[in-house]
Structure formats: structure tokens, C-alpha cells
Structure 1
Amino acid sequence: MWRVQAAHQPAEVGAGLRLLATTPPLAFRRHAGPTGWRAELCVPRRVGQSAGLKAVSEERFQEGLGHARRYVAQHGHLAVPHAGAPQDAFDLGRWLANLRVASAGLPPKYVRVLAELDLWWNPPWPISWQRAWHRARAHALAHGPVSGGDNLAGLPRWLERWLRRQIADYSQLAAEQQQLLAQLGLTPAEIDRFHGWPARRRSVMHGLEVAHDYAARHGHLAVSQPTSHDGFALGKWLNQVRHRQRAATQPTRLGRQLTALDTWWNPPWPLDWQRYYWAARHHLHGLPEGVVWWPGAPGEEETRQWLHGQQASWQHLHNEQKALVGRLATDQSTGGSTRSDRPGSSPLSG
């Protein structure tokens, strides 16, 4: 027989159940009415205090508790994904999710023993947040606390993005969440240092404007990471954009805008090779109007040695690299090309 707890019974249903509970424990009963006796269905009365159900419930809880203890011993927490793969034929994530849903009606001893395993087994915020916090805490224990004074530099990409979201929503977080972030090193003082860091957040448009000015001045965007332009860390900014572009499955909007400035701003080969290509092109054909040499540009002798090196390693070059080197020998005045169509031949040979 099923039973509904009194706290969840509407008044009219509760009255009906109490009435049925007083009927004889028979499948059918005889009822005398104006038309005589007739058989009616009746609900048998429950006998006892549900001792059998309590025993089964206790047994199932102890089974799940055993799996929870083993998970805590291995991972240190109970922020188990809801859709995680069952371990030892037991779906611990679903078991914990069901307990969280029914936490208001759990026996106090159940809540107490789970809290002893993990104080935040049932947080008032999404369990995904708690799971991310445990991952961030493992990184902080291994590499030291995070610091807002260095603009979260040197952190893994996933951790940096998560922490930036916490900083942006810090005022909306619960006090307990703020305390948990403080355990990672992200105290209110560190957040103030983060907001006070100079050039903490350069807008995309600002970076794009600086890239446009650099490309117009020097003719390309093959800049190394330490390169700065007008006080802006252009090399570092472009390096981050390249990483995001390579991780994307298709060209991003910002990537297309940078491609319009320099087709080879994000080449599949080293940037050092691309800078030598631009130097060789300018040495062979002269600087375009309005373009000046960039700091540390290779000289003519270095460029000549680089060109000989391309001839020696011709077979190992990327097809696009071969095409670029081939165009270096193009006579701009006639539009002709000395590139050989023979397979494996170098345009610099002979």
C-alpha cells in the first residue's frame, strides 16, 4: 500500500484517506442501501507503523552512504555530476540528486552524516558551481593561491575564465560563496586589486584599433609576444586571440577582421618565419608607401641567409609557405613569376 505524508496531503484527500482507513480489511464489503445489499470495493487498512518500508529505506541509504564515503576518500567532496557514469553499478550522482530534492524531509541523522562527509553536499547554489570550486581549489593547493594583482596571469584558461565570472558577479554571490573564494586566495582585497590593475580589461575594439595602426605602419601583424605598440601589449593580445581562433571550429568575427588587416596574422607555421618573409619581401621589392621598418627587423644579409635556408629545406615547407616564397621572386613591374612548375623544384634554385 502507498502512503502520503500528512504534510503533503490536501485536506479533502486526508479526510478521505482517514475514512478509508476505518473500513474492514476486505477486498469487498457488503453495503445495505435503499435497494438492498451490494458489493463495493474497499481499501484494506494498513497494519503497523511501516516498519518494513523504514527498514528498506535505511538499507538503501546505508548502501548509498558506503559509495559516498568511497567517493569522498578518492575525490574529497560529494559534488558528483548528476549524469555521471555509475560506479560499481551504483549511480551515486542520481542518488545524491534525489536526496537534495528531498532534503527538507530527510531524517536529521541522514543530513548530519552527509554533512560530516562534505559540508557543502547540498549547497543553495548550483552543484556545478561547487564542482568548479573544488577543481579550482585543487589547482590552488598545487600551485598556490590566485592573485588579482597580476590580472590572473599564468592561470589555465578554464580557471581564468571561471574566476573572471566570479569577480564580475561577486556582489551577487552568497556570503558562503565569497568565503569559499577567499580560500582560493580571491579575497575582497584581491578583487579590488584586480579592478585597480592598469589596463586590466582592454576592449576588443581598442585592440583592433592598435592592430590596424600597427599593420598600416609596418605592413603586417606577425608580431612576437613581447611587442608593445603605443603602450598596448599588442603581441600578448594577438597571441591570446590566436589561441582562441585555433580553438574555434570556424573563423571568428574578430579573426575575420584581423585577416582583413593581414592575411597571415595567424599562420600555421612559426611567426618568426612569417616575419622573415615580410622582411625578404620588403628587401626585394622595397617598402610600400607609408610603411616603415619595425624594430628588430632582419637586415639584408640575414634575409639572404634565410632565403638560402628555404631553398635547403624546400621539401619540408608547407604548401602555402612554398607559394609565399615563390611570390618573393615575382617581378612587380611586369607581373611575371620565376616560380617553377616542376614538382619539388625551388624558385630560388639556379
Structure 2
Amino acid sequence: MRVPRRAGQGRGLEQRHAQLFAEGLEQARLHVERFGHLAVAHTDGRVQEGFDLGRWLANRRAHTASLTMEQAEQLRCLDAWWNPPWPLDWQRAWHRARIHVYEQGQVHGGDNRMGLPCWLQRWLRHQITHYEQLHDGQVMLLAELGLTTSEVERFHAWPGRRRPTADGLTVARAYAARHGHLAVSQPLVVDGFALGTWLNRQRQRQRSLGRPTRLGHHLTALDAWWNPPWPVAWQRMWWACRHHLTGLPEGLEWWAAAPNDQHAAAWLGEQSARRPLLQPRQQSLVDELLSLASEVPMRQPRINNAAWQPLSGRLPARSHIGGRPSASGRSWRPSSTSPTLDRPGGAFRQL
């Protein structure tokens, strides 16, 4: 048996829904006046006057089909992107970035975003890295911040400073496989990637933290001395000297401007002479090289006493700069008791 519906019941329910929507719309309007948007998470927990705006908006987004055209238009008038087709946290981050742009000016792609807050640098870098996957609406919103398509292209004009960490690690891995180390100079650029600058930035970051980073563990696996506590140039010379002593391993090749064997031998002689001044781990590395060498390399003198005697007579007299001049009035000449530069290893012993 069919039970007839009471007249007016459906109308009353519609009126109740309209009343609840009007209350929520008023709270949304107050939020927009204060914060400028409706990108409120449903877990925000902000309850004003007993009304949970975040949950109310989440329900409206989940049931957009139940909204009338007038209600949907009212929400769009408050915030055109109140229900974006991308994650809501992206929209909140964009509003946060827009506040910074209003206060500090638009962002650019060519200045490496220096001076921006760290969170904004990371967020912008992520947008640029995944720019091709962004929604057209997201691209338009980024353009309002100043990050247009041309700025993204300008950003990629400096690939060495702006590639993701994975790209830097890939280039570092290829360089270590080719040359056997990561003790590169800061100006080094490999295939358009500023590897030297990138590695230097990773060293500074790890030292500031005072502990190995996750990326640092990967780099240590490539070169145990990629981040030495002494100058990187010293470590690079150590690698060159080792390769000269043991021979370049199969599959490796010399890097650009690598020192020759004479330069490496002279350097090892200097390090052996100043060994007490080195750090303990540097001393161990020098000892390792000395154990590989048949004898301590001696630096050859530039000129000996026998050659100096006839040459000194052709030089102008030494000017008097204080004190009493010699009785003979002649300039200084090395005597037979001068340092024995002509003896093997003489210059080495005076280092």
C-alpha cells in the first residue's frame, strides 16, 4: 500500500539546506575577507562561532553535483579556485607564495631565486622541475607570481645550478667512474652541469649540519674523500700523485690540467718535509704514497752555487735598505758556506 507524502515536507528540507548553505557561505566570506582565499583543509581545525569551515568546504567539494548553479557561482565569486582540480595543499602554497610576491616583488627564473625563503625556493624549484605536468590553471597562477614560461626557460639556462639532486648525483657518478675521484675544482662544468659548484654546495651543507647527509652517503660511496677537512686542491694532488705512482687504473683517464709526474713528485717531497704540520689523516695519506714510492722524491734545485757565481756579477748592486753597509761596499754574494743547493735533496731539506 502506497503511503502518500505530506505536502510541504520536501520544500521544508530544501529551505533547511539553503539556510545551512547561507550560514556556511557567510563564514566563507569572513574567511576570504581575512585571508583572501578558501583553500582551507578539512583538518584545519579552525572552528569559528561553532562552525567548522574546513569540513563544510570539504563536503561542498565532495558533493559539487548537489550545488545549484547559483550556489556554485557564489563560491566562485569568493574564490575562483575554491575547488581546484589539483591538490588543495598546492593551492595553499600558491597563496602563501602570492603574499611574498605582493610584499617583495615577483620571482624570476634567472637569478636562482637568491634571497627567497627556503620553503619558497623548494616549492618553486619543484614547480619548475615538473612544469610540463602542471595543469593549465596552475601555469596561469604561477605566471601571476612572475614564473612565466619564458622565466622557466631562463631558469634552465643555468642547468648546472638548477638541476635536481638526482641529476647532480648522476653527473658525479659519471665523473668518478671516468677519473676515479670527486676532488674537482669549483669552476668545473661537465656536460653543461656545474659539478664543482654543486659539490661545493653539498660540502658546505654537510659541514653546517655536522653529520653526513643522505646525499653525502651516496657521494662517499663514490669517493671516500669527496669532502675532506683540508683544501680540495690538496686532495686532488694526492689523487694525481697516487695515479702516477701506481699507474692509471684501467678504464680511468686523466682529468683536464692534471699535474705531470715531475710536479706530483715535487709535491710529495714537500708534503713529506712538512708532514708534522699536516692533519693526522693527511699524514696517513702521505705515508700511503711514500710506501708506494721507491724513494722520497727530491725536488731539483733551480740553480746551483757554481752557476750562481758568474751570474751574480751581472746583476745590479743590492740597494741599501737599512743598517750599516758592508765595508767593501759591494753587494751580497753567496759564499761557499751558502745553503747547499747543489747537493741532492738540499732544497727539499730546507722546505
TM-score by length of 1: 0.56
**Aligned equivalents of 1:60 and 1:244: distance in 2?**
55
Rate the CA distance shift 1:260–1:204 in 2: closer, same or farther, 3 A.
closer
Preserved CA contact (<8 Å) 2:220 2:226? yes
Of 28, 53, 69, which aligns to 2:13? Answer: 53
Within 5 Å, give how 1:330-345 maps onto structure 2.
none
Please tell me whether residue 181 in structure 1 is matched to residue 142 in structure 2: yes
Q: Contact 1:79–1:121 (CA<8 Å) still a contact in 2?
A: yes
Q: Distance in 2 between matches of 1:47 and 1:186?
A: 58
SS of the residue aligned with 1:288?
helix
- Identify which of 103, 122, 125 aligns with 1:161: 125
For structure 2, which runs of at least 5 residues remain unmatched after alignment? 245-257, 293-351
> Which secondary structure does the structure 2 equivalent of 1:81 belong to?
coil
Deviation (angstroms), 1:238? 1.7
Corresponding residue of 1:110: 71
- 1:130 equivalent to 2:101? Answer no
Is 1:120 paired with 2:76? Answer: no
Contact 2:107 2:147 in 1 (8 A): yes
CA-CA distance at 1:180 after TM superposition: 1.6
Query: What is the distance in 2 between the residues matched to 1:21 and 1:245?
Result: 79
- 1:278 Cα shift? 4.7
| 1:275 counterpart residue number | 231
- In the alignment, is the contact (CA less than 8 A) between 1:210 and 1:229 conserved in 2? no
- Structure 1 segment 183-222 matched on structure 2, within 5 A: 183-195=144-156, 201=163, 204-211=169-176, 216=180, 221=183
Give the secondary-structure state (helix, strand or coil) at the position aligned to 1:20: coil
For 2:2, the equivalent position in structure 1 comes to 20
Shift of 1:78: 0.6
Task: Report whether the alignment pairs 1:87 with 2:47.
Answer: yes
Equivalent pairs, count? 261
Which residue of the partner structure matches residue 221 of structure 2?
A: 260
SS at match of 1:137: helix
Aligned residue identity for 1:79:
A
1:240-255 aligned at under 5 Å gives the runs 241=202, 243=205, 252=214, 255=216
**Pair 1:324-2:281 in alignment:** yes
Contact 2:108–2:147 (CA under 8 A) maintained in structure 1: yes
- The amino acid that maps onto 1:288 is R
* Alignment TM-score, normalising by the size of structure 2: 0.55
Deviation at 1:121, TM superposition (A): 0.8
Q: How big is the shift at 1:98?
A: 0.7
Distance 1:205 1:331 in 2: 30
Contact 1:115–1:121, Cα closer than 8 Å, also in 2? yes
Q: Within 1, Cα distance between the matches of 2:14 and 2:123?
A: 45
Alignment check: 8 A CA contact 2:37 2:82 kept = yes
The alpha-carbon deviation at position 106 of structure 1 amounts to: 1.7
CA contact (8 A) 2:176 2:223 kept: no
Q: 1:137 touches 1:184 (CA, 8 Å); kept in 2?
A: yes
Task: Give the number of the structure with larger relative contact order, counting CA–CA contacts within 8 Å between residues 6 or more apart.
Answer: 2
| Structure 1 unaligned regions, length at least 5 | 1-18, 23-44, 311-322, 336-350
- Could you tell me how far apart the structure 1 residues matched to 2:106 and 2:198 are? 25
Q: How many angstroms does 1:99 deviate by? A: 0.8
Deviations 1:117-142 (A, max 9, x none): 21211223332332232233233333
Change (3 A) 1:158 1:289: closer
The yes-or-no answer on 1:100 pairing with 2:61 is: yes
For each residue in 1:96-129, what CA deviation from the matched residue of structure 2 results, as whole angstroms up to 9, or x when unmatched?
0111222232234433332222121122333233
- Code of the residue aligned with 1:123 in structure 2: it is P
